[in-house]
Chains A and B, each alone.
Chain A
């Protein structure tokens, strides 16, 4: 009997998710033993045409990480969807848009201009920009098109499961593999992580008083954080209460507040709106001036509350951006 086929693919991502797969360490061998990896660009050499040649649904599961920003990523997402029984959005970018989705605050043209013309570290005197296709000595190479909008995987194709995190933890990855290989699968659409917020597993939980009333907000670089006290009790924005657990409270254990990479619980439609609601309601001031003074400590609410989730948020993208490369 042939081993089940598994594919890994990366789209708009940093490669951190791939590291997690590698971080399975000894366990990776167990996985490799049980499955047949048919695509893994970061580690192994396969060609798209090999995949295209495969029968539909012949891959048991594809773990796809990264947001979808280019036409090539879309194309591969569609292809892998067709070839896989289970398509799994692996990591915050595929699930929620991740850091790349913060680009949804800016017009495409601004991004291209900065990256190919204005960036101080750039050496591109001809201000050459990537073209979708060109003629070069009789060859006709194609480059993927850079889209206007950063998308989550499920905004492009149907997704079966989500493994959250930036990056996902080895433990959750292992759990997902175990579930897949054993056939003991949760309902379609599930996020493979506890549906309880992070505080549940945070060591600092007990140190949070029941009478927090914010008089100021500080950012991690502005204050040396107490290594044991709840960050919110220190006036530091911590996304923990609005973020799924399952990471083992890795950041808060490392004396950094949670930034929300595991996304919201299943009961929440917009993670940023919810943490905003909670933090603001607990501000001490009652008058507009006092409230705004306290809120000066959150200079960039979008970047703070939607660090990983902008593409999946209710608004998805800065609404006054158009689709012709220009912008506001």
Chain B
């Protein structure tokens, strides 16, 4: 090695972070102690190291005191490591001559004894001082960004994000697992608090997406695999067979009435089962794409195959094919296709599912026909819904004269989901308004708290009060059909402790609406793993930082938007989708990312060629050079986990930023302070 051993000159800085650190850690004492350590040229404490003057201080000291190493003890490196690396670089040093000590998240915020916390800060600082002496100058690698973006989920979040990106001239691949895009919002009647019609806002956007030259919509499709890294992902998409040639179908829908089933007979998923559809169907009139789908589970031309799946039986008269005529769009032989797409970034906008009301059995959903979920009522009051907007009960005739709306079903409950679903108060009041408007019925809202923290939301609540909608404060105990008085006969009785009036009440109503909460999608965990994201304890996708990086994930190039990150209403969802699109565009416009140079490499002369490391690499980055009889690492594929390094039996693999000597010195340093 021809490297000249330069004298190590360390500058150490401990940040007060206002009082965040200084209140629990004696910062001047830490600075004084570190100043006595070998190699430390100067040691300072400062109020806010991350501020401009703080960063300037580092730069100035590097120049004036010929520092060649910098250590900052402040917050988590996950927060400000880039900041201080940059300051180090601006001071004229290689940015990796820097090391950061976490004395806020890992120390001052979690301990209660000032002396102990100060000792800990000293130990951690000493470790960094030991470690940084071994640091080597490294270069970041630039990786170019593929300008195409994948958006997963085409609800309002996915649609808005896709449109924003596509409008800037960048390509978007929009994947939706249902036959149509639109998500939950397409099912809503009106939106709160303005009561403008959901379809009027959404459907033009949907058709814009469908016809946008920069957006490729892959409906009825699911992402099954993601490989690669920021800027260069390869995604595998499963295209489920809809038995329609998407290119040939012109959306005339002539096949639907031509079906051998004269009447729609099967539960219509889009209408929450309240309506019926034929085996060949389009979810709703404005569906995008305007392409029908054939459900092989109900279509007579299919039968059960040996493996339990559906196979073509060719038993049906195929009147639909006849109706389609020479367009020849119907293709019963279609099978699942697997396609691969190359993208640079991904926005995950997979939305939510509503709480299954059967999990709150006391409320009688599934037992009493006239107990509805809020989503069913959305369809029932909708002019394009199964009853054309005519609110009738399950008998199909009678209108309700009284309706009870139970808030917080599945939310704010230790037995089910503890979180507040954020939208239920507002949509319950919206439904109250719509039901009253449609039927003139008496409406009772049963709430724990009314939560209206949004623009115009409190005003909407006041409006409802003015309209004579009843609000009863109390968590409903049960819904029963057991009448105790003649006027309860034939009614659903809501038993509740009215906590304002201070007694238990029985309210008989014709119809009960359950304001079911929002929860993570059933397969959120699979999606999380696929995109290498994290989930919070409740199962929603975890943002990198709630304030500093709310749409970023821990995986670079993967962003989140909408209710998959947590319950939120449409305005917030759209705002977040816009934010995610902005992050993506910033990435694309920059054109490259700097990769953390924490890759591993094999010392060629030292490797014995034992091949033990090769099967350990999940990215097949380690290859064997038969000629030399040595293994080597393809740096472009290495993601820097260091598993091979920890496993190399002869110590012949080195990981940049985490080499053995750096870690050994950190271990020794962390234990050196008594």
Chain A residues in contact with chain B, CB under 8 A? 195-200, 205, 208-213, 232, 240-242, 245, 264-265, 267-269, 274-275, 277-278, 281-282
Contact = CB atoms under 8 A, between A and B. Distances in A.
B660 interface: yes
A199 B608 contact: yes
A242 B612 CA distance: 10
Contact of B607 (A196, A208, A281): A196
B610 interface: yes
A318 to B, nearest CB: 22
B212 interface: no
B610 A265 contact: no
Given A200-B608, A210-B611, A212-B612, A278 B648 contact: yes
Contacts of B606: 195-196, 265, 267
Contact of A198 (B608, B613, B616, B652): B608
Given A267-B650, A275-B649, A282 B612 contact: yes
A197 B611 contact: no
A197 B647 CA distance: 14
Which of A265, A277, A278, A282 is most buried by chain B, counting CB atoms within 10 A of its CB?
A278
A211 B609 CA distance: 14
Given A267-B650, A277-B647, A282-B615, 10 more contacts: A197-B608, A212-B615, A232-B612, A241-B610, A264-B650, A267-B603, A269-B664, A274-B651, A281-B616, A281-B643
B647 A242 contact: no
29 contacts: A196-B606, A196-B650, A196-B652, A197-B610, A197-B652, A199-B609, A199-B610, A200-B609, A205-B609, A232-B612, A240-B608, A240-B610, A241-B608, A241-B610, A241-B612, A241-B649, A242-B649, A267-B606, A267-B650, A267-B652, A269-B664, A274-B649, A274-B650, A274-B651, A277-B649, A278-B647, A278-B648, A281-B646, A282-B647
Residue in B615, B651, B660 with the greatest tally of chain A CB atoms within 10 Å:
B651
- Which 4 pairs, one residue from A and one from B, show the smallest C-beta to C-beta distance? A267-B651, A197-B608, A241-B610, A242-B649
B665 to A, nearest CB: 12
A209 B626 CA distance: 12
B107 to A, nearest CB: 28
B137 interface: no
Nearest to B608: A197
B660 A267 contact: yes
Contacts of A199: 608-611
B605 to A, nearest CB: 7
Contacts of B605: 196
A278 B648 CA distance: 6
Given A208-B610, A267-B606, A242 B650 contact: yes
A38 to B, nearest CB: 38
A277 B614 contact: no
A308 to B, nearest CB: 15
Contacts of A196: 605-608, 650, 652
* Residue of B614, B660, B664 ringed by the most chain A CB atoms within 10 A: B614
Given A197-B610, A199-B608, A205-B629, A265 B615 contact: no
Contacts of B607: 196
Interface in B196-224: none
A210 B615 contact: yes
A278 B606 CA distance: 16
Interface of B: 603, 605-616, 624, 629, 643, 646-652, 660, 664
B136 to A, nearest CB: 16
B651 A268 contact: yes
Most buried by A among B608, B611, B614, B624: B608
Contact of A245 (B603, B608, B612, B648): B608
Nearest to B615: A211
A124 B146 CA distance: 83
Given A196-B605, A197-B608, A212-B611, A281 B647 contact: yes
Nearest to B626: A206
Given A196-B606, A281-B643, A265 B650 contact: yes
A305 to B, nearest CB: 10
Most chain A beta carbons < 10 A, residue from B610, B613, B660, B664: B610
B154 to A, nearest CB: 36
A269 B651 CA distance: 9
A211 B607 CA distance: 18
Contacts of B624: 210
Nearest to A233: B611
B611 A265 contact: no
Given A267-B650, A275-B649, A282 B616 contact: yes
A182 to B, nearest CB: 24
A199 B611 CA distance: 9
A55 B646 CA distance: 49
Contacts of A265: 606, 650-652
B417 to A, nearest CB: 31
Contacts of B609: 199-200, 205
Contacts of A282: 612, 615-616, 647
A321 to B, nearest CB: 23
B654 to A, nearest CB: 9
A277 B614 CA distance: 14
A268 B647 CA distance: 11
Contacts of B664: 269
A278 B649 CA distance: 6
B287 to A, nearest CB: 44
Contacts of A242: 649-650
Nearest to A209: B611
Nearest to A269: B664
A213 B615 contact: yes
B611 to A, nearest CB: 5
A274 B615 CA distance: 17
A265 to B, nearest CB: 5
